[in-house]
Structure 1
Amino acid sequence: MSRRLFFAFALVAAALSPAARSADLTPLETRWLQGVAPVVMHARQVLALPLDVVVQPQDTPGAAPLALGFVDGRCKLVLSLRGNPEGQRQLDAVEPALLVASLELMAAHELGHCRRYLDGAWFRMPAGFKAGTAPAGLAPDLRQAWLDMRSTRREEGYGDLVGLAWTREHHPALYTRVHAWLAKERAAELIPGSHHDTLDWLVLASAPESLHGRTIFEAADRLWQHGLKD
């Protein structure tokens, strides 16, 4: 472990919830924590985000291995790996040379959600944009579900762009390969227009120079809004 990664991992360990600190971490949990550590360090020390790390101590089959919660004004980076084969599957699906950059992209994606929550902008369109209306003929409950799905899709698109902006800044030599990996993941079993259909934004971000800004959030926001126009 490099000196920088050691200190980043130490910071993540300090940010763990008390329950997680008192429990023995599994090798899989340790690997994921090592993977997200540089992003957590950047979020807390450079971006000054109120970010905590939570490792679920119970079995969580079917949960996303890495997700974001928002409680009492603080973002919670939540790892759900026990009793959850998806955590190992995601690691196995990435070629070894891209694993570090891919784990960091996933963590940076969640920082995008954190930023939107903190800004009070979650599910909101930026000024000058309209969310559109549900297709005619849908029952009221299905209409709301459709609108929620479209809102989630927009937030996932923003998160993916934040992740790619991180890759451009921290792993520029791997950008093209990491972008291809992410596009492949998003295209797998794709239902067009569904929650994780972010391909329209990924096309816009094909070239690393498309993402530029003072922060990863600023870099993502410009391209994200461009995608909203289509």
Structure 2
Amino acid sequence: MNQYRYETHLHTTQASACARVSAAEHVNFYKKAGYSGIVVTDHFFNGNSCIPKELPWEQRIDLFCKGYEDAKKEGDRIGLSVFFGLEVNFRGTEFLIYGVDKAWLKNHPDMLSWTVDEQYRHVHAAGGFIIHAHPFRVRPYIKEARLFPEAVDAVEAINVGNGSDEFDRQAMDYAKQHHFPVTAGTDAHGKESLHSGIAFQHKIKDMQDLIDSIRSGEGELILPQ
């Protein structure tokens, strides 16, 4: 039975305008809930970010990374693994990016002007991994479901924030159609009543291990509970 559980999609008040709890609060919650780790995926500057737009690029990146850094510090203190990611937005279509870091973000001040295809090329050049987040979600800020099967590596097939089994079913069908590996996540902002993620039979040692484990399909999706 898979015993190491990981939250794959999480937002903190340090960087995401929509988050309801801080990085440290998330870490303590997931530790008590029996998880082995989390991925902090705060909204980047083209999404629901709380980082001031008028600041210099490097300062904005420093502030953006505070959610992850604060979570990592608390995670190291209490024994919960914390990994870095981000969620980017293209006119309502959102992607989770794994496998890049603060230095990479600082070195790409032009990234807000990239197309989805350009993003894919740059992220892959860095050894990163892109997950299409909640691809069929319906919200006022999402004008239509737009799919980019040639510019992603995986599909988020379960997202608690969707609040809809139908959106999840469509995402799973889409992933199967294109033979994509799948992920599950809470899209945690804090104070959710249900949580999800992926469970593995081994403890994830770093982000590359997580990417490889998702790509291989060895994890078990955690149904919202």
Structure 2 length normalisation: TM-score? Answer: 0.28
Q: More relative contact order in 1 or in 2 (CA 8 Å, sep 6+)?
A: 2
Report which of the two has the higher share of helix. 1
